[in-house]
Amino acid sequence: MLTITVPQGLRTPSVYVAGSLLSTVFLLTWQTIQVSKHRKLAGIPYPRQKAEMDASPAAAKFDSVQRAHANTLENIPTVYLMTILVGIQAPVVAASALGAWVLSRIVYTNRDFAPSASSALRPSMDMNQWLFCSATIRKLKEQNFAYPFLRPVDPVMLCLPQYPIIVRNPMDLSTMERKLKSSNPENLESNPDHPRYLTVDEYVADVRLIVNNCILFNGPEHQISVMAKHMEEFFDNEMKNMPAVGEEPIVKEVAQ
């Protein structure tokens, strides 16, 4: 068994090393909170670990914070080992070095990061697709099987305290409709704190998220889960008519 003996004269300064090591716990906790915060702002469903870099400034910021957190986790073992080894002979130096590293990680995580102006707000969803998506959401909301998904789940009103623990990224049709209103390609919402859709795939992913959340919480055989599956089937049938980028809407001729 390996035993490390700390010299008697260095035991008091070693408290500095212990304190600096503890600061990394607060660093990782803070980074985790930042990742969760920017995930919600960007509207990126869990467990996706990466957004499209040119999707939006909010998505780019999420990628930046997520990358900083992952980089910290990768380096923590080496940093711990070096701090302990150096701290045996020079605890004040080791504690100071680790403290400086923690501060640098905070600055790195919190740095202003955004894609270039030319790519920050470059949607791949064109106007015809946006109109189609907006119409599809309205159709979904009119269906009888969609009523459980019209608004966000209220865990307090429904007495479901476990809901936010199980469902980490809630979604509903009203939230999707708000995101669509901010996604008009001809009048794109410029505030990165307002989630929106830049691609059809992001829009489709939110419908899948509603269904998956429902099944996750209620189980696949529950009546509400069956309604969610009916909604998904209806949605998939509608999406078969989604126009391609640049494609003009198909005008059906009326027989005379």
Q: What is the DSSP string of 154-176?
A: -TTTTT-TTHHHH-SS---HHHH
State mean pLDDT over 193-213: 89
- Report phi then psi at 29, rounded to 5: -65, -45
Residue 114: predicted pLDDT: 47
pLDDT tens, residue by residue, 52-111: 544 566 777 777 888 888 888 888 888 888 888 888 888 888 888 888 898 888 888 887
- What percentage of the chain reaches a pLDDT higher than 90? 33
Q: Between 47 and 142, where is the model more confident?
A: 142
CB 83 within 8 A of CB 20: yes
pLDDT at 81: 87
Higher pLDDT, 192 or 145: 145
Q: Taking a C-beta distance cutoff of 8 angstroms, is the pair 37, 58 a contact?
A: no
Counting Cα atoms < 13 Å in the Cβ hemisphere of 218 gives 18
Mean pLDDT within 250-256: 45
Q: Are 224 and 218 in contact (CB under 8 A)?
A: yes
**Domain residue extents for the chain:** 11-119, 123-239
Dist CA 32 CA 69 (whole Å): 7
Which CATH topology does 11-119 take? Four Helix Bundle (Hemerythrin (Met), subunit A) (1.20.120)
Among 205, 163, 153, 189, which residue's Cα sits nearest to residue 43?
Answer: 205
Query: Nearest Cα to 131, choosing from 75, 202, 81, 181?
Result: 181
123-239 topology per CATH: Histone Acetyltransferase; Chain A (1.20.920)
Q: What is the pLDDT of residues 24-55, one digit of tens each?
A: 888 889 888 888 887 877 777 766 666 654 45
More confident position, 65 or 211: 211
pLDDT, residue 256, reads 43
Environment class of 136 (CB within 10 Å of its CB; exposed 0-12, middle 13-18, buried 19+): buried
